[in-house]
Structure 1
């Protein structure tokens, strides 16, 4: 987790609402997959204090999972709540989101070396060098979680739908995407939450999903407070 926001108390026993309804869009194979949500996002960016490009990513992930895992009932407000807590919607330390969804400069958490209340997690990079892992991107994925669950949002839709419908950590190769791309990160976060919580319309399911993301009651309270703010 990069940043801390919210009250830090466990919320009332109700899941955050789903937020403003998303428009009906056709999910297709395209590099500009989030474009149909541009107008929806632009109209709400100032109201919620969220970059329009980030809202597009949250909306696309929500629509994709609604079509492939309808029993999950993921709301875009939950994705927005997590991204608010983790990176201020990809703006941590002055980062910005490019048109293609890339977040630059890349957002990295502290080394997970077992100190300051962190877990001790090792990671081997592409060069074969082993060091302490660091959470990456606007949704702050640790490398091991991304390798298991990461998915590229602009994957050809029939392939993407198969990955999402499976509901298991099976992405690989070109379909794994990047934690530094907000489209990929939002979709991966949604996929992970659905697999972890079941029905996110229920408080128990929602809480179980968010605890799987970060096992802290304080974190649950922070995400709940942020997500609930986007339902108003």
Structure 2
């Protein structure tokens, strides 16, 4: 992950902040659930966040020691920990913990394993994970995907559907990914279907939306921006708290 790419993402986030704020119904007087923010969990070792190759590989031993008890694939846990470490280096005031990223990853895609998907050593998730069609029915938003980048090859031909689907292990919609996506594993590709890229992109998004995730208000602002649902935030909180305590729910 290059410093330039991270800063570009932050700049784009700033440019879209007013638009996103206008669509968010989270009010300052809204009740904050108990147990927010969840604990930070075991500290992530210091690493070279600008290392060549896949920087998250530096965290293999740390992740391998914890993954079995947590029920998280080692590669996914490396990705969450690396993203949290980058956030700490680049934006120390954010205070984003890997446990929050892991909680989101569990709720969104079972850490990239939804419907039998596998995670390769470089973080690529296959087959691609896609959410429901966002066509305005069934209580879903209506979101167009003009470039058909989020099509689901399992159920449709590319170009057949004008509507978007959430993409990848962290479930980004196409427009959000276009604005926030970063290359975390230095392979030259910015892919929502790579758990390294997705986790680091989620970290940048959460840090901008929540400012300081060590505070109850900041954590809830970030989670409500990610998914405008109190139940979603509680689910992430519960999984993150379990991970901080060294086990799955």
Q: Hey, what does 1:134 align to over in structure 2?
A: 165
Q: Alpha-carbon deviations, 1:63-100, whole Å to 9, x = none?
A: 11100000000000000000000000001000010001
Distance 1:31 1:124 in 2: 33
- Structure 1 residue runs of 4 or more that deviate by more than 4 Å after TM superposition: 126-130
Residue segments in structure 2 that go unaligned for 5+ positions in a row: 1-31, 150-157
Q: Hey, what does 1:15 align to over in structure 2?
A: 37
Report which stretch shifted further, 49-58 or 10-19: 10-19
Report which stretch shifted further, 12-21 or 189-198: 12-21
| Structure 1 residue 41 corresponds to structure 2 residue 54 | no
TM-score (ref. length: structure 1) = 0.84
Contact 1:103 1:137 in 2 (8 A): yes
Contact 1:152 1:184 in 2 (8 A): yes
Higher RCO (Cα < 8 Å, 6 or more apart):
1
Q: Hey, what does 1:220 align to over in structure 2?
A: 233
Match of 1:98 among 112, 120, 123: 120
Deviation at 1:126, TM superposition (A): 6.1
Q: Alpha-carbon deviations, 1:44-63, whole Å to 9, x = none?
A: 01111100100000011011
| Structure 1 residue 179 corresponds to structure 2 residue 192 | yes
| Structure 1 residue 50 corresponds to structure 2 residue 72 | yes
- Number of corresponding residues: 206
The 3-state SS of whatever aligns with 2:236 is: helix
Deviation at 1:19, TM superposition (A): 0.8
Distance 1:114 1:180 in 2: 24
Distance 1:185 1:213 in 2: 13
TM-score (ref. length: structure 2) = 0.79
Match of 1:200 among 192, 213, 223: 213
Q: Hey, what does 2:23 align to over in structure 1?
A: none
Distance 2:148 2:96 in 1: 34
